[in-house]
Amino acid sequence: MTQAPLASRPHDHSHCVSHALAEAESICLRQGLRLTVLRKRVLELVWHSHKPLGAYDILGVLSEEDGRRAAPPTVYRALDFLLANGLVHRIASLNAFVGCSHPEHAHQGQFLICRGCHAAIELEHATISNAIINSAAGVGFVVESQTVEVVGLCAGCREQP
């Protein structure tokens, strides 16, 4: 069982971003993948906060930086690459993306999503994944992928009046 990141608590967030980028570079190098400038920038933007970020939010930032309108297909291709290689997760209910806290190995993510501040905290519990797989098998269903999204309030939002 892995401990959840401190997304909803004060911490050195620049360390989260730099660690995620360094890990992505290392993974891509080991697997012979190209982490292009655009892919790396999209990953950096996704990691900019612990809040899920939509593709059009990313497009907006890239357009501001570049001074010209970024094309949606380029951002979607970068996100597809990051998803396929386990560097980000897609939060379906929000149609948004969040950086993967454990990209070094394939896994099924569970996410705690704060309805107050919108932070998404990734959990990785094999027992939850296995329970889903076993329950599905019990009714003849084969799980191909799973993402569990749990909505509630983080500690910081619960403390606010």
Note the pLDDT of residue 3: 39
User: Domain for residue 147, yes or no?
Assistant: yes
Query: For the domain that residue 47 is a member of, what is the CATH number?
Result: 1.10.10.10
Task: Tell whether 61 is covered by a domain.
Answer: yes
Task: Quickly tell me which residue has 């329970």 as its tokens.
Answer: 131
- Quick one: average pLDDT of 138-155? 93
Residue 4 counted as domain residue: no
* Domain tally, the chain: 1
Residue 69: the pLDDT is 72
| pLDDT range class, residue 27, cuts 50, 70, 90 | very high
Within a domain: 150: yes
Q: Is residue 155 part of a domain?
A: yes
The arithmetic mean of pLDDT across residues 24-49, rounded, is: 94
| Residue among 119, 122, 124, 113 at smallest CA distance from 152 | 113
Percent residues over pLDDT 70 in the chain: 91
Taking residues 124-151, what's their average pLDDT?
93
Mean pLDDT confidence for 88-96: 93
Query: Which pLDDT score is estimated for 6?
Result: 45
Domain-located, residue 8: no
Q: Which domain holds residue 41?
A: 13-159
Please give the mean pLDDT across all residues of the chain: 88
CA atoms of 21 and 35, how far apart (whole Å):
10
How long a stretch of residues is the chain? 161
* Packed helices 72-84 and 55-66: angle between N→C axes, nearest 10 degrees: 120
pLDDT above 90 (res 35): yes
pLDDT for res 5: 43
Would 34 be classed as within a structural domain?
yes
Structure tokens at 121: 């905290």
pLDDT (tens digit, 9 = 90+) per residue, 64-88? 887 767 788 999 999 999 999 999 9
Assigned domain for 141 exists: yes
CA pair distance 87, 21, nearest whole angstrom? 9
pTM, 2 dp:
0.84
Cα 107 from chain centroid? 12
